[in-house]
Amino acid sequence: MIHEVDDVLRLLIRAEVLEGGQISVVFDAPTREWAAKVNAPMVNLYLYDIREDMRRRERGLHNEYDERGAVVARRRPPRYFKLSYLITAWTKRPEDEHRLLSSLLACLLRYEALPPERLAGSLAEIGAAVPMSIALPPPEDRSFADVWSALGGELKPSLDLVISVPVTASPSYEAGPPVGDEGLQARFGDVPARTEGETRGQGQTQDQPGRKGLPVYGSRPGRPARPGREEPAASGTAGPRRGLSLRITENRDSRDRDGRTEDSTA
C-alpha cells in the first residue's frame, strides 16, 4: 500500500512538474551524510510519519452484494492512515531549489486527492478516494525542526505532504441466505408427537406432516394439570368452566363500652 503511493507520487511529479527534465525523484532520509553525497538535482520525498486518521474511522459493517443484489458477506469499513512526506528540492543554487519547490506546490495544490487515473494495484481496487493535503501547519505534538534534528541534518525549506490511505485488510463475515417468498422456518429441538389426551388443556395445536400435535405460539405446552381440578375442554368445544373460590375467615376480639366481648366473623 505504501509503495503504491510512492509510485503514484513519482509518476505525478515526473509528468506534471519535471516534464522529462533530468531531475531524480527519491525517497531517502535527508541525513547529513546523505546530503554530502548529493551531486545531481533531485526531489526527495521522505516518509517520516505513519499514523491512523481517527477523524475518518467508521463504525458498523459494510455489505457485499452479488450480481443479483443480495447480501453475501459483510466486512469492516476501511481505516485511513496518514502518510506524511517531507518534500525537499536539492540543487546547487538556492534559487533553483525555490523555483522547484514552487512548481511542486502549484502541482499538488491542484488536487484534493490522488488522481484516480493514476491509481494502480490495491488502491485502484478499493474504489475509494485517497485524500491528500499540502503545506498545512504541523500538529502540536511535533514540528519540522524536530524532524530535522532527529535526522541530524541542517534545516532546509520543505513542503509537508499528508496522504490519507484507505486500508481494507479486515476479515469478511459470510451472510446467511436471503429469506424468500416462502418464508423462514425455525425449529428448536425435536418435539415428539403428542396424543390427544396429552394435548388437552394446552391451547390450540397445529398439525404438520409427520409431527402431529405441535403447540402453536402463545400456548403453554407441557403445563401440568393441577390434581383435583377439572381441566377445561379443548378449544372449540363447550364445557363448564370453574372459577376461583376462596373463603376468608377472620376472628377478632373487641370490647364494647360495657366491657362485653364481641366476636365477629367475616
pLDDT digits (tens, 9 = 90+) for 85-130: 999 999 999 999 999 999 999 999 999 999 998 988 888 888 788 9
- pLDDT of the residue at 145: 76
Q: Which of 111, 125, 133 is nearest to 15 (CA)?
A: 111
Read off φ and ψ for residue 48, nearest 5 degrees: -110, -5
Residue spans of beta strands (DSSP E) within the chain: 24-26, 42-52, 62-65, 71-75, 79-90, 132-134, 159-167, 172-174, 205-208, 211-215, 251-255, 261-265
- pLDDT of the residue at 63: 74
Res. 149 pLDDT band, cuts 50 70 90: confident
- Who wins on pLDDT, 190 or 219? 190
- Who wins on pLDDT, 241 or 64? 64
Read off φ and ψ for residue 103, nearest 5 degrees: -65, -40
Domain of residue 147 covers 2-58+79-170
Report if residue 204 sits inside a domain: no
Res. 29 pLDDT band, cuts 50 70 90: very high
d(CA 15, CA 3): 18
Report if residue 260 sits inside a domain: no
d(CA 218, CA 183): 20
Res. 203 pLDDT band, cuts 50 70 90: very low
d(CA 254, CA 261): 6
Query: How many domains is the chain built from?
Result: 1
pLDDT tens for 66-87 read 777 777 777 777 788 999 999 9
Q: At what angle do helices 94-109 and 2-13 cross, to 10 degrees?
A: 110
- Who wins on pLDDT, 179 or 258? 179
Across the range 15-22, mean pLDDT stands at 84
Q: What is the pTM of this model?
A: 0.60
Across the range 238-261, mean pLDDT stands at 51
Q: Would you call 141 helix, strand, or coil by DSSP?
A: coil
Q: What is the CATH number of the domain that holds 141?
A: 3.30.2000
Are the C-beta atoms of residues 29 and 12 closer than 8 Å to each other? no
Report if residue 153 sits inside a domain: yes
- pLDDT of the residue at 264: 44
Are the C-beta atoms of residues 250 and 243 closer than 8 Å to each other? no
Across the range 232-237, mean pLDDT stands at 51
Q: Would you call 262 helix, strand, or coil by DSSP?
A: strand
Q: Which residues face 42 on adjacent strands?
A: 24, 90
**197 CB contacts (<8 Å, ≥6 apart)?**
none
Report if residue 15 sits inside a domain: yes
Grid cell listed for 2: 505504501
Residue 251 has pLDDT above 60, yes or no: no
Mean pLDDT is lowest, of 5-19, 39-53, 56-70, 209-223, for: 209-223
- pLDDT of the residue at 146: 79
- pLDDT of the residue at 249: 52
pLDDT tens for 161-183 read 999 998 877 667 677 777 666 66
- pLDDT of the residue at 105: 95
Read off φ and ψ for residue 54, nearest 5 degrees: -65, -20
Report if residue 183 sits inside a domain: no
How does the average pLDDT of the chain come out, rounded? 75
Report if residue 144 sits inside a domain: yes
Q: Which of 100, 103, 133, 130 is nearest to 115 (CA)?
A: 130
Work out the percent of the chain whose per-residue pLDDT is above 70: 64
Res. 266 pLDDT band, cuts 50 70 90: very low
Report if residue 95 sits inside a domain: yes
Across the range 212-236, mean pLDDT stands at 52
